[in-house]
Amino acid sequence: MFHRGGNRGMIGGPDIASVGSGTLVGFVLGLIGGGGSILAVPLLVYVVGVASPHVAIGTSAVAVALSAFANLLGHARAGNVRWPCALIFSAAGIAGAAAGSTLGKSFDGQKLMLLFGVLMIVIAVMMLVRKAGDGTAFRPLARETAPSLLPRLLGMGGLVGAMSGFFGIGGGFLIVPGLMGAARMPMILAIGSSLVAVTAFGITTAISYALSGLVDWRIAILFVAGGVAGGLGGTLLAKRLASHKSLLTRVFAAIVAIVGAYVVARGSAAVFG
């Protein structure tokens, strides 16, 4: 089922736009561990031309989950994933994502996009004003750290998962600061570990939307094809910038803020005329 205008079943503008947008999303996922779906939904609506915001959300969930998994493999090989923390965070978030996606599907699409843009800007500002830790306070999840660390991981994971499901996003731009806050992880480990949750949340949301017929599978496949290529470049650059934590944070925040402002402008025009 296709939800685009023109060029149906043909290799043309929308398909090229899908591959190009996927490449950009994959690059961002590889670079910062998040922001992929934050960019995917606006790209699908405003660049590729998907008419329904809900179809864009469902399609992006499929594409970003698969792209995140591909990028996760690279970060795992580099030793940037702390599996116990990532798995606990993800498990709590899956339940939240399932509930959030059910609520999101019943919400007006244009209002959802407007709220989406506002959330992007808020997160970007939080990332810019928050003092990034140096990671020295990080302690792996173990028997002695579980009493204090486990509740933080479960609580933050559930909250981020619910927001991810509601907005139909992988949630990496929320998961990275969530892991840094809950587990005191250094940036590069939070980026690698976040991809476990991005994959899990994306799959959960994608299943929910697919069961409602709100996924354009052709676009999703093209998006993933571009995302794999872009992710390779992003992961390589992330390794080079690992020692420049403040720069990585500013790049992360700038991308989210710029796209967020655009989404708010377009969403406001659609909602308020």
Q: Answer whether residue 102 is part of any domain.
A: yes
Q: Answer whether residue 1 is part of any domain.
A: no
Q: Answer whether residue 127 is part of any domain.
A: yes
Q: Answer whether residue 76 is part of any domain.
A: yes
Number of domains in the chain: 1
* pLDDT tens-digit readout, 254-269: 877 888 898 899 889 9
pLDDT of residue 9: 43
C-alpha of 241 from chain center: 20
* pLDDT tens-digit readout, 4-26: 444 444 456 889 999 999 998 88
Judged by DSSP in three states, 50 sits in: coil
With a CB cutoff of 8 Å and minimum separation 6, the contacts of 184 are 133, 135, 137, 138, 139
Q: Rounded distance, CA 161 to CA 202, Å?
A: 10
**Mean pLDDT value of segment 62-83:** 87
Amino acid letter at 153? Answer: L
* pLDDT tens-digit readout, 30-62: 776 666 667 888 899 889 999 898 999 999 889
Q: What is the pTM of this model?
A: 0.77
Q: Answer whether residue 4 is part of any domain.
A: no
Q: Answer whether residue 221 is part of any domain.
A: yes
How does residue 64 score in pLDDT terms, banded at 50, 70 and 90? confident
158: its two tokens:
């559930």
Of 29, 56, 62, nearest to 43 (Cα)? 56
Range of the domain at 126: 13-272
Q: Answer whether residue 8 is part of any domain.
A: no
Q: Rounded distance, CA 81 to CA 195, Å?
A: 8
Q: Rounded distance, CA 259 to CA 23, Å?
A: 16
- Whether the per-residue pLDDT at 132 is higher than 60: the answer is no
Q: Answer whether residue 5 is part of any domain.
A: no
Task: Using alpha carbons, list the distances in angstroms from residue 140 to 73, 145, 159, 213, 240.
Answer: 21, 7, 21, 41, 24
How does residue 191 score in pLDDT terms, banded at 50, 70 and 90? confident
At 71, phi and psi to the nearest 5? -70, -30
* pLDDT tens-digit readout, 87-106: 999 999 999 999 999 998 98
How wide is the angle at C-alpha 172 spanned by C-alphas 167 and 177, nearest 5°? 110
190: its two tokens:
């939070």
Task: Using alpha carbons, list the distances in angstroms from residue 129 to 3, 122, 223.
Answer: 40, 11, 33
What integer best gives the mean pLDDT of the chain?
A: 83
